[in-house]
Amino acid sequence: MPTMVDCENKTDEELVKLTLENADWYSCLMQRYEDKLGRYIYRISGSGKEDIEDLLQEIFLATYRNLNDFDNRLKFSSWIYRIAHNFVISHHRKIQARPILIGGEGVEKYLAMIKDKNDVHALVNDKITGEVIGRLFQKIEVKYKEVLVLRYIEQKEYNEISDILKKPVGTIGTLLSRAKMQLREIIKREGIKL
């Protein structure tokens, strides 16, 4: 069984190769991505702890089963996020979109995320509470929520988001722009003064 030090000294791609030779190495990839994917799932779906754990288990099983199909020309992180994305969207469709509550660390990130040069900047200056941000964020379409989370919360580059969502890079930029526009429209419709 590999140690934590063994895991830390390897790239994702090296761990994939080692896992294909010896399944024990897969634990390194699971440890590396468990928290990241758990946060991603929560931010996209707002699922509870049990649902997140179930989704993670399904994602890790699917990833392991398909490890032979991993294209080493891509980043492993993009590939596993793509698998997670597919499971989250499928889960989302099954449960008909439960409400999302944003609290704790998420509030500040969501406030910063929607700031842009069109002066939604006032939003960041605590004029809207985390509770209101959570309510507003629930009203954004899933396709926009995905790109916002991947770009501003997960801090993925446009190319990696493109790989994860299987959309052209230009489309990612358009989706981000439309997401911000949709959020501004929701703010205006809610009558929130900035």
Question: Could you state, in order of their start, the residue ranges of all structural domains in the chain?
Answer: 4-95, 105-189
The answer to whether domain 105-189 has CATH 2.40.37.10 is no
Among 103-107, 117-121, 152-156, 170-174, where is mean pLDDT lowest? 117-121
Asked whether this chain's domains 4-95 and 105-189 adopt the same fold, the reply is: no
DSSP conformational letter for 156: -
Place of tokens 């896992």: 19
For residue 45, the model assigns a pLDDT of 78
Helix axes 76-95, 49-65, angle to 10 degrees: 130
The answer to whether domain 4-95 has CATH 1.10.1740.10 is yes
For residue 180, the model assigns a pLDDT of 85
Instruction: Give every CB contact of residue 100 below 8 A, 6+ residues apart in sequence.
Output: 45, 46, 134, 137, 138
* Rounded average pLDDT over 94-116: 50
Among 43-52, 98-107, 118-127, 151-160, where is mean pLDDT lowest? 118-127
